[in-house]
Amino acid sequence: MPPTLAEPPPVRASATTTDYATQLRRTMAATKLSFTWFGVRRALSAAQKAQAAEAFGAAAKYVSAAKKLLDTTHPAYQAVTALRGQITQTWKARTLPYPEPGLRLMRQQDLSRFADQLQQWQHDLQQAVLALDEVYAELRQAARQRLGELYNATDYPATFRHEFGLSWEFPSVEPPPYLAQLNPDLYAAECQRVQQRFTEAVALAEQAFLEEFAQVIGHLTERLSGSEHGTPKVFRDSAVDNLRAFFERFRQLEIGSQAELEQLVDQAQQIVRGVQPQQLRTSSSLRQQVATQLAGVQASLEGLLVDRPRRAIQRPAARETH
């Protein structure tokens, strides 16, 4: 669990913004996921590139070429990559962005359950890799046939068991408490820097919610509106399901800083409450009613996006890194 938060010194921001940033800082914890992943592409050797360039009458130094080591369409390999996608997507859905590379913010109350989920995913990934390892010889033999002279046995590990993996951290973004005793001025500066990061996190969360809502509601509205070749446009259940999933995520992670967006979310939620995808397919009047009402929400949302452009991340020049 994250360490007890020390009282930060005041920052130069509006009281409202400071309040939201402080709330985020007190209730969230930083999370980081990392994957170990076998790279399926290798650059050609200098001699191989020269040979390839010669075939086209090109200078070798202006040619870039690589070979693909494995058939990535094989079901066993796709099962492994699909799991990585599922893990990443779920992590992002349960967290908010944070202005440090690779870190995202999760509610502290969700950490224990998420850690259990990570353990299960780690096990699932290990099992998927074992299944991939069982067909590894087959994949290598197919690669040998496809690559011909480009095949190099040293490109391939003896087993895949240690080539794929999932790890995670819950790193503290707070300045270490001992710094307050060693150098109070530096500690105060670090507290202010962290508070500024959370102020930026508020802006990032606002923008992410606005853009996600605009995307899901825009897609559903487009599918419900108009026709193709005289018939209503086809839409999948996911068009409605994705909007409802956004509602749930927004309610869980909203930080209360977007009153206008909250009103639009409430409005959209009322419009689709109790409406099933099949009803929209079979009832043209209901379809038109929902489309018209959602179009109104979409118009208001587009105005909100224009009025509240992406905020620039402002940091003291002395602390910028390149």
Indicate the domain borders of the chain. 15-42+66-169, 206-307
pLDDT at 190: 95
- Gap between the Cα atoms of 194 and 173, Å rounded: 7
- Gap between the Cα atoms of 105 and 25, Å rounded: 9
Question: Per residue of the chain (322 residues), what is the pLDDT tens digit?
Answer: 444 444 444 444 444 678 899 999 999 999 999 999 999 999 998 898 998 888 889 998 888 889 999 999 999 999 999 999 999 999 999 999 999 999 999 999 999 999 999 999 999 999 999 999 999 999 999 999 999 999 999 999 999 999 999 999 999 999 999 999 999 999 999 999 999 999 999 999 999 999 999 999 999 999 888 666 667 777 789 989 999 999 999 999 988 888 899 999 999 999 999 999 999 888 989 999 999 999 999 999 988 887 665 444 444 433 333 3
Which residue in this structure is represented by tokens 């969360």?
205
Ramachandran region of residue 230, left (φ > 0), alpha (ψ -120 to 50) or beta?
left
pLDDT at 95: 97
Sign of the dihedral defined by the CA atoms of residues 126, 130, 131, 135, in that order: positive
- Gap between the Cα atoms of 308 and 43, Å rounded: 45
